[in-house]
Amino acid sequence: MSLSKPFQFFGTLASLLSPALVTFASLPPQLPAEFESKREVSLKFPNTSNREAPSSTASGGSRGINKIASCIEVDETTEPVETPLKALIPATYLTKTITDKPSLFVYVPKTTAESAKFIVRDNDGKEVYRSEFVPPETSGIVKLTIPETVSLAVKQKYQWQFTLMCNPKDLFAEENKFVEGLLLRTQLSSEQQKQLDCVRQAPNLENLLELPERWRRFSCVTQSPDLQNLLNSISQSPEQKELLNSLKKSPEQAKLYVEALVYANAEIWHETIDNIAQLREDYPDEWQELLESVGLDSLAQETLLDCCRAD
């Protein structure tokens, strides 16, 4: 597979509080009846593995496997793998963002390649962004960010591809290794946007998490039963209590976490993983739980590298 092949694009935002993602804890009897539930909250991305996924793209794609000498260093004492280069995306292949400059994460194994290319093309196959940089000296997870000079259009799909240039002279050489995916810039529903705005505008998220007695301080919460349900549930879950007590000490981290819950419920992958990546150093369990929910648990312990600034 190469960049010259015809692009194939596919075309749903899930409603907030999808059962596949959020479960609620039993609530105290004094809480309103509409918030009662026996389920428990967790940060898990909805299972979208049966949607919009070409059967030949389990991890985005690869070429030159087991045929031509590779620039990826592998441990010969272990079982051979198709390719250790992986995109951190759900099996759905098509992922969603609400920003015009999303970030993508790719696991890059130790390699002898002296360059890597990151290319984004629109629905017509036109190249809208290309960057080249030196791969990291060690294996780890690289964050690829589309710069300020590029703006992805709403309701448009883009194909992105990250290539390790094993053959530095030919982008389409068989020995090169790559991962790719489809990216859709979409919008939240009006209700989901209202919830996100409410979380972002809260002057002190600790007050939002001290429920229900402080809801009256935030009219945007009282006007959104779904957000009340979500906030109340995460504050009542025994398994979340220690996390939330810690998050209350840092309003910015607390907002990142609650925003991630809203994003994940809406199946917005790029903002979900970006927020949790920012929390990983202090809250590694949340990072691991998110990756496990999309079948990427084997990468949960890999280092997030601060490297590879694109030109």
What tens digit of pLDDT does each residue of 199-257 get?
Answer: 887 766 665 666 555 555 666 777 777 777 777 666 666 666 677 777 777 878 888 98
Q: In percent, how much of the chain has pLDDT > 90?
A: 42
Q: Nearest-CA neighbor of 188 among 88, 91, 259? A: 259
Q: In this predicted model, which residue has the larger pLDDT, 29 or 215?
A: 215
**E strand or H helix that includes residue 107:** strand 103-108
Model-level pTM?
Answer: 0.75
Q: In this predicted model, which residue has the larger pLDDT, 143 or 201?
A: 143
Query: With contact defined as beta carbons under 8 Å apart, do 116 and 135 qualify?
Result: yes
Bridge partners of 116, per DSSP, are: 133, 164
Q: In this predicted model, which residue has the larger pLDDT, 39 or 265?
A: 265
Query: With contact defined as beta carbons under 8 Å apart, do 158 and 131 qualify?
Result: no
Mean pLDDT of 155-162: 96
State both tokens at 297: 């648990």
Query: With contact defined as beta carbons under 8 Å apart, do 112 and 275 qualify?
Result: no
Is the pLDDT reported for residue 152 higher than 70?
A: yes
pLDDT band, residue 128 (cuts 50/70/90): very high
Is the pLDDT reported for residue 278 higher than 70?
A: yes
Which of 12-26, 50-64, 294-308 has the least mean pLDDT?
A: 12-26
What is the pLDDT at residue 155?
95
pLDDT band, residue 58 (cuts 50/70/90): very low
Q: Across the chain, what does the average pLDDT equal?
A: 74
**Which structural domains are found in the chain, ordered by start?**
33-45+188-295 (no CATH), 49-186+296-311 (2.60.40.2550)
Can you say whether the dihedral through the CA atoms of 167, 168, 169, 170 is positive or negative? positive
What is the pLDDT at residue 229?
75
